[in-house]
């Protein structure tokens, strides 16, 4: 089985029972939502294009899918604009813009483009399912797995199970890269001490942090990512 076959099977089977979550927190499951047919088509095209092989890859681990990135397109750190511009995959049914995706694809381009980058790396998330929380105004906003102790505790068995499943795709476990130098790295590092997923974990700033707070120094962070990846 190729990486693409394994990834698509993993995504199609991905499920988290919302009744196990704290009150007013709901999972993001794009392959089971109203745009599921579109997302399945796009995911299939993307993973067959870049992962139709058995090469070993290093894992890049984000936090969890957000509403405008993987929570919408099904693809980590890939909004519809980057999907069309850099991957030549069109998703005309809707449009999303995610600042994190802008930074990630600038890194990918600086690395040598999607074909070269995705042959060496597999981007995923600490928690394979993203979350939204219902606020007082009845609006839904992004929520991270570590934003409450109750949610972290509820999803930890799920996190461990899904990381193990993805590592089994053919991940090079000598080193992994964590997007987020704060809570995400702390949690992954603690979990790794117990589970022994990776020999080494390198923390890197989360793309959202770079774009929101360090945009004037963006090139410095791109170079930092490239240096880390080349090591």
State pLDDT tens for residues 111-168.
999 999 999 999 999 999 999 999 877 788 889 999 999 999 999 999 999 999 999 9
pLDDT tens profile 80-121: 999 999 999 998 888 888 899 999 999 999 999 999 999 999
For residue 68, what pLDDT band results from cuts at 50, 70 and 90? Answer: low
Rg of the chain taking only CA atoms, in angstroms: 17
User: ∠91-92-94 over CA atoms, to 5°?
Assistant: 90
For all residues of the chain together, what is the average pLDDT?
93
Average pLDDT over residues 24-51: 87
pTM of the model: 0.94
Place of tokens 């802008």: 102
Three-state DSSP state, 14: coil
* Token pair 């394994």: residue: 6
Give the pLDDT score at 33: 67
| Range 61-66 average pLDDT | 91
Q: Is the pLDDT of residue 216 over 80?
A: yes
Above pLDDT 70, what percent of the chain? 98
**The tokens of 26 are what?**
């709901």
Is residue 108 classed exposed, middle or buried when 0-12, 13-18 and 19+ CB atoms within 10 A define those classes? buried
Average pLDDT over residues 46-59: 97
Choosing among 3.40.470.10, 3.30.420.40, 3.90.650.10, 3.40.50.1370, the CATH entry for 3-230 is 3.40.470.10
For helices 99-111 and 80-87, what crossing angle results, to 10°? 20
């Amino acid at each position: 089985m190729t990486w693409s076959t394994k990834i698509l099977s993993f995504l199609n089977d991905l499920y988290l029972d919302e009744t196990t979550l704290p009150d007013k927190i709901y999972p993001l499951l794009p392959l089971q939502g109203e745009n599921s047919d579109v997302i399945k088509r796009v995911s299939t095209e993307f993973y067959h294009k870049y992962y139709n092989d058995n090469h070993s890859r290093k894992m890049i681990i984000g936090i969890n899918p957000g509403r405008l990135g993987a929570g919408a397109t099904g693809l980590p750190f890939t909004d519809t604009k980057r999907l069309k511009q850099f991957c030549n995959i069109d998703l005309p049914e809707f449009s999303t813009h995610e600042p994190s995706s802008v930074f990630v694809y600038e890194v990918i381009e600086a690395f040598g483009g999607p074909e070269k980058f995705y042959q060496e790396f597999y981007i995923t998330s600490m928690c394979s399912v993203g979350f939204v929380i219902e606020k007082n105004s009845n609006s839904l906003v992004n929520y991270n797995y570590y934003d409450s102790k109750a949610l972290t505790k509820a999803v930890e068995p799920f996190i461990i199970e899904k990381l193990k499943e993805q590592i089994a795709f053919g991940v090079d476990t000598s080193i992994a890269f964590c997007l987020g130098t704060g809570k995400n790295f702390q949690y992954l590092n603690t979990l790794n001490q117990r589970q022994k997923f990776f020999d080494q974990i390198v923390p890197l700033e989360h793309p959202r942090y770079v774009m929101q707070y360090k945009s004037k120094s963006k090139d410095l962070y791109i170079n930092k990512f490239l240096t880390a990846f080349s090591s």
